[in-house]
Structure 1
Amino acid sequence: MKGLFTVITANNSIQTSSIEAIIQQGLSHLVHRGRHKQYSFFTPVSTDTTLAIAICSSEEQANIHNDERNYIAFDGKLHNTDAIKEKLQIHTILSDAELIFQVYNQLGEKGFSLLEGYFSFIFYDSHQQTLYALRDPFGNRPLFYCQTDHYIAIASEARALYQSIAGVQGFDKSAIVDYLLWGNIAQHPQHFFSNIQTLQPAHQLAYSLQNKTLNIQPYYTLAYRSCLGRFDSYKANEVAVTVKQLLVRGIENHISGRKNIAIGLSGGLDSSSLACCMANMDKDINITAFTVVNEFNEAESIFAEKIVTKTKAKWIKVLCTSQQLLKELETINYYQNIPIFNTSSFAQYKLMESASQQGFTSIIDGQGSDELFAGYIMYFYRFIHELSSEFMCKEWLQECKHLSNAHLTYKQVLFESLKYNLKQQIGQTKAYTCISRKPLLLALNEEAKQSYFHQKKPGKAYKETLNDYLYESYTQDLPHILRWGEHSAARFGMDCLMPFADNKALTEFVFSVPSIYKIHKGYAKFLLRSAMNDIVPDEIRLRTQKLGFYTPEDQWLLQISNGMKQGIEGLPDPEDIIKKSFIIEHWDTLFSSTNQHLKGFLFRCFSYLVWRNTWT
């Protein structure tokens, strides 16, 4: 685990000592990623331009590499080093950073498209006087950047930029209201910050120190097949075999050379698949499984226990309580850099903490499978709609007949499909928001509501097929989901390894498969279920009712309702967004309402205020 921080200034009135102070300030907010610090300074163009690259690492020997021409601060791991060496005819042993030098020296920036794995890095070419910053293809590792009149800065976390670069302070009211009303952060590239941007996955930032120009563009684009196809049993078996082979190969990239491995095990298909594959691949590997449990319901842990028994793993149950949530919310929100919007993120954080306490520096996580293999209920609605729009009556009838396998009825599917089509037509417009979030709007101040309604929202393209929908989920929504796990692990200096989200070959193959194979006879994730035949026990492989980091949110919020109320009433709201008087006056009515949105809204108000007061 590493933290990256880079600053460029073209202002000759700024002294090197000032740059040093900025670097030290930025690294102080990344120190949880690694206590070993290094930085280098360059003045490559003239005395009025200074470039500083810094890194903090959990590994003492990690440093900023150079080959006399190029410099790199690298965080992560490449998965395809052998393939790159073969392609470029390289026959020496190289680290990942050194291999990137070879790729760049032979192919230039076009060579970045060859890189596979999970990574972020800062790369400087002293001959071309160009600085590059890159994120991996699917967003496993974060990078943020900002630009002011005096500085361009890049960092692994937004807080490092906010607290060290003058002129970037400020929050986006419309984004905050979006979060409070909908729990939505993913569609805002700045998250809550007015002047700090997220570098998107599969993108490179290039800054020319000579021309003073900044350019951001994709270095890789995931291709996909937007077609339905017709189901063929023989073809389905072939596809499942390939999925299994590619998944196993991807897992091997993570466990090769390890004898002890930690995994977050929920007892669902995704984490169970990873655990069972690891146990099958290496009989000598020591697996330690971490499972979140609570005082209300241990039903999920029953399934995790079955996998623990099968894989002979050591099992650690991580007890999470509402009082822990109340006590630790400030710390969690501080390290997340954005406020958590539900209690599942808290459970994931506690799991990472437990793994760190057991001495692990990395943990395997099953995030990404739902977006890759169509694991969410909402995908059924799009699939049924796609079948009907293609007039595939036989297949449509078959899927409707088996909806009970997904615990759905046709009435539900029809209603949700109509609702989806309506939202596609009008989006989250003022009218739609006023209808669906009316009670919530009463608890927000007028100026904040107006900033929300007056924002320009980019329209989303209508998605005709299930694969269209999956593509958007995987490329746009998943990076935000991965961020929670990455930041939680980074808080404890750990790597969060996600084989479903960093396996380029598997991802490209699955997105080349027609959507008819993604859901079959009421089973979501049909390809993964088929691939795991004889590997994962059927009672888990064919299980359909599964919750991720399950938490008894309703019970917990009821237990901490007084603490939430006191926090909302007492914590400052510098942007004056929340109408506190209304919430406090109507607290009992709001909290006891049958409206499912209200308790979540009140928690988000509380979480936001706790988070907002971690910023100075």
Structure 2
Amino acid sequence: MCGIVGFSYPNRRVIKQMADSLKHRGPDGKGYFLDQFVSLGHRRLSIIDLKGGKQPLFNEDKTIVIVFNGEIYNFQELRLRLEKNGHRFKTNSDTEVIVHAYEEYGPNCLKYFNGMFAFCLYDLKKKLLFLARDRFGVKPLYYHINANKQLVFGSEIKALLKNNTVKTAPNSPVIRQYLSQNKIPEDQTDTFFDNIYKVLPGHYLVWQNERLSVREYYSISILSKTIKESTESESVLIHKYQALFKDSVRLRLISDVAVGSCLSGGLDSSSIVANVDNILKKTGNIGSSVKGSLHCFSAVYNDKTIDESYFIKEVVKGKRLLAHYTFPNAKGFKKDLGNLVYHQDEPTETIAVYAQYCVMRLAKHKVKVLLDGQGSDETLAGYIPYYRHFLLDLIKSGQIVQLGIEIAFGYRHLKRMLTSYLKLTKGQWHSRSFFPDNTSRVNYLKKSQMSLKERLWSDIEHTLPNVLRYEDRNSMAFGIEARLPFLDYRLVEFAMSLPSRMKLRRGWTKYILRKSFSDILPPKITWRKNKLGFSVPDYQWLVSNRYYILKVLSSSTAKSQNYFDQMEAIRLFNLMCQDKKNGFYTNYFWRILNLTLWLQVFFNQ
């Protein structure tokens, strides 16, 4: 994992400034390339080929140069294929595979990569910049076209801000949508910064002769129409899922440095660590990545309603796993809030992002690579609202008997959905007091009428990118590379071919995952009913920091902005602090607090 920057003109001083702003992403080294047309910069986090993988990296005749952030997990397989076709390698890095694959296949090389990546490749002969981002957007990439019609790009927005040709301001339409709808535009090219854009997942850019072209090479919407539902038996589907998942974990253990894992005590992370433990039982060690035992990192709390330490201990018991704990709290939240806002670059939907931040900080002292469970919920229907779509599918298809069975077994989901809906509705009503420009509403009706398959594809395309941004910024803030086995594209496409009964059955979410690894997971984990995720005591944290938050809300920044009613926000925050019954305001105050601090950090307001 690394940080990359660049622009389409020569300037050594600025390229160094931009690269240095990403030192947290790449603390192990730096490198630059400049000619009369471009400047490229790189900050390296050494994971593969520690000695030979320095960047920028060239092909044999130095007509192609690359700066790369990410991992190509199938690089060894691709290298063998390219060598048979006459390509000669000088390093053992996955970066060099990209260069030779581009020589062999051109832009179509992207279809051969199984990995997470964002890179810029410069073709000196064609005077062409080729920038690309992975299928699901695990790795970030942003760009700006300045007044001189020059391209500026980087792994994080903060790097672009170090280039004085980049002129920006708060993006008001995006901000208002965030406040009123809690909408983060990770599925759009727009960002919270005006005139700074993101390369979307599954897309690449070509910059040549001062002209930009944007193209899509991997389309979620097209895939959703072309992948057919499997008719194979349950046992065959389970066997295939097991094989794909195990191979995904195997590939993500390839490393020349220590690998660990996040562990929440939930089904997803527990499945990952149980599979690693299974490998360790057979081999003792896993190359250079895992020596004897796997380090696991977890956030735990004194609040028993959200603490998962019991389940974490159940997973660790009797396995080659070493548990490490962090204890996020209100005091630490206040202390770290400025850094959290800075590293995230843009506001976030929820305070829970801070718990992940703490886990990554804990892991920094033991490993440089972490496995994590993101992507399972969106591909295997892990969230409770998916149950509604499942029931609607049964109604539409006339499966009345099965509908009755699912309602009987899934009553707890229906109860939770109703509670969440009432809380959301109440919060939306009161949000009008906060946001006078709150004129647009999310079309919940349209989304609720989707089939289960449509909703899952929609969330992969529109919701998952938010989660991936939080993961990337939190991990890279501490020089940690996060790898996500559930987002191997082969596994995602297979999961989306599964019939609904392999995802939701008799009240169980992620049914195929539970069945696949029930033999290596404790029953208390396999058949656990209460899903928490990264839950945090958000209400308690805000109330405990009441006077600090009132200071922020009373600041000149809050007074000068025109996105929310400052005095009404102060009044309602005091009201919330006085009575927990007003806790439905919590998420709205997080957005206001987050936005105000973001304006201070990035615009000195």
TM-score if structure 1 supplies the norm length? 0.87
Offset at 1:352?
Answer: 0.3
Name the counterpart of 2:458: 472
Query: What is the aligned partner in structure 2 of residue 378 from structure 1?
Result: 385
Whichever residue aligns with residue 195 of structure 1, its letter is N
For residues 203-225 of structure 1, give each alpha carbon's deviation from its aligned partner in whole angstroms, at most 9, with x where no partner exists: 1011113xx22111112235246
Which amino acid in 2 is paired with 1:395?
A: Q
Distance 2:94 2:466 in 1: 26
Structure 2: distance between partners of 1:69 and 1:333: 40
Within the alignment, does 1:443 sit opposite 2:441 as a pair? no
Q: 1:602 aligns with which of 572, 575, 589?
A: 589
Shift of 1:596: 4.8
User: Residue 422 of structure 1 aligns with which residue?
Assistant: none
Please report how far the alpha carbon of residue 461 of structure 1 lies from its aligned counterpart in structure 2 after TM superposition. Answer: 7.9
Query: C-alpha displacement at 1:536, in angstroms?
Result: 1.1
What displacement does 1:456 show?
A: 12
Displacement of 1:349: 0.1
For residues 416 and 404 of structure 2, the distance between their equivalents in structure 1, rounded to whole angstroms, comes to: 15
Q: What secondary structure sits across from 1:338 in the alignment? A: coil
The CA deviation at 1:468 is 1.2
Match of 1:488 in 2: 474
- Partner residue in 1 for 2:32: 39
Gaps of at least 5 residues in structure 1 are 10-15, 44-49, 420-431
Cα offset, 1:53, TM superposition: 1.0
Whole-Å Cα distance in 2 between the matches of residues 107 and 226 of structure 1? 24
2:159 maps to a residue whose letter is A
Residues 193 and 76 (structure 1 numbering): CA distance in 2 closer, same or farther, change over 3 Å? same
Shift in Å at residue 115 of structure 1?
1.2
Q: Is 366-375 or 297-306 further displaced after alignment?
A: 297-306
2:202 maps to which residue? 202
Map 1:11-50 → 2, pairs under 5 A: 16=10, 19-35=11-27, 36-43=29-36, 50=37
The match for 2:413 among 404, 408, 415 is 408
Deviation track 1:151-174 (CA, whole Å, cap 9, x = no partner) reads: 211100011113324343111122
Q: Equivalents in 2 of 1:22, 1:177: separation in Å?
A: 33
> Which residue number corresponds to residue 287 of structure 2?
none
In the superposition, the TM-score normalised over structure 2's length comes to 0.88
Report the more deviating stretch, 599-608 or 292-301: 292-301
Q: Which residue of 2 aligns with 1:175?
A: 174
Output the CA distance in 2 between the equivalents of 1:169 and 1:175.
Answer: 14
Contact 2:5 2:15 (8 Å CA) reproduced = yes
Query: Contact between 1:226 and 1:465, CA under 8 Å: does it hold in 2?
Result: no
Q: Distance in 1 between matches of 2:352 and 2:313?
A: 20
Whether the aligned pair in 2 keeps the contact of 1:225 and 1:514 (CA below 8 Å) is no
Q: Is the 8 A contact 2:576 2:583 kept in 1?
A: no
CA contact (8 A) 1:295 1:321 kept: no
Secondary structure of 2:207's counterpart equals: strand
Instruction: Report the CA distance shift for 1:453/1:127 in structure 2 as closer, same or farther (over 3 A).
Output: farther
CA deviation vs aligned residue, 1:9-38 (integer Å, no higher than 9, x gap) = 4xxxxxx4xx22321231232111124221
CA contact (8 A) 1:227 1:515 kept: no
Matching residue of 2:288: none
CA deviation profile, 1:74-98 (whole Å, cap 9, x unmatched): 1221122344345553586653222
Residue 308 of structure 1 contacts residue 314 of structure 1 at CA under 8 Å; is this kept in 2?
yes
Equivalent residues in 2 for 1:385-534, closer than 5 Å: 385-404=392-411, 407-409=412-414, 437-444=428-435, 446=436, 449=437, 453=439, 464-501=450-487, 503-534=488-519
Q: Which residue of 2 aligns with 1:286?
A: 293
Structure 1 residues 74, 228: CA separation in 2 closer, same or farther (over 3 Å shift)?
closer
SS at match of 1:31: coil
Rounded Cα–Cα distance in structure 1 between residues aligned with 2:241 and 2:145: 43
- RCO comparison, higher one (Cα < 8 Å, 6+): 1
Q: Say whether 1:337 aligns with 2:345.
A: yes
The 8 Å contact of residues 258 and 369 in structure 2, kept in 1 or not, is answered as no
- Are positions 1:613 and 2:600 aligned together? yes
Change (3 A) 1:54 1:559: same
Residues 260 and 286 of structure 1 are in contact (CA less than 8 Å); yes or no, is this contact kept in structure 2?
Answer: no
Q: Partner letter of residue 205 of structure 2?
A: L
CA contact under 8 A between 1:224 and 1:512: conserved in structure 2? no
Correspondence list, 1:223-242, <5 A: 223-224=223-224, 235-242=233-240
Tell whether the 8 Å contact from 2:181 to 2:442 is kept in structure 1 after alignment: no
Are 2:326 and 1:328 aligned?
A: no
- Is contact 2:263-2:312 (8 Å) kept? yes
Q: How many Å apart are 1:140 and its aligned residue?
A: 1.2
Distance, in Å, in 2 between the alignment partners of 1:71 and 1:345 is 36
Corresponding residue for residue 51 of structure 1: 38
Task: Specify whether residues 40 and 436 from structure 1 end up closer, same or farther in structure 2 by C-alpha distance, changes over 3 A only.
Answer: same
Aligned-residue offset at 1:306: 1.0
Asked if the contact 1:225–1:513 (Cα under 8 Å) also holds between the matched residues in 2, the reply is: no
Structure 2 CA distance, aligned partners of 1:353 and 1:267? 19
Q: 1:105 to 1:157 in 2, by over 3 A?
A: same
- AA in 1 matched with 2:542: L
Look up the SS of the partner of 1:119 in the other structure.
strand
Shift of 1:299: 4.0
Matches within 5 A, 1:207-222: 207-209=207-209, 212-222=210-220
Of 368, 375, 379, the residue aligned with 1:368 is 375
Identify which range, 73-82 or 504-513, moves more after superposition: 73-82
| Cα distance in 1, alignment partners of residues 322 and 441 from structure 2 | 51
Q: Secondary structure at the match of 1:240?
A: helix
In the alignment, is the contact (CA less than 8 A) between 1:3 and 1:156 conserved in 2?
Answer: yes
**1:587–1:140 Cα change, 3 Å:** closer
Q: Check conservation: 1:203, 1:217, Cα contact below 8 A.
A: yes
**CA 1:614/1:197 → structure 2, altered by over 3 Å: closer, same or farther?**
same
Correspondence for 2:190: 190
Equivalent pairs counted in the alignment come to 574
Post-superposition Cα deviations, 1:330-387, rounded to whole Å, max 9, x if no partner, equal: 111101101333221001001100111x232111111111111110001101111111
Distance 1:414 1:579 in 2: 30
Closer/same/farther in 2, CA of residues 390 and 536 from structure 1, 3 Å limit: same
Amino acid at match of 2:529: T
Secondary structure at the counterpart of residue 486 of structure 2: coil
The alignment status of 1:307 with 2:279, answered yes or no, reads no
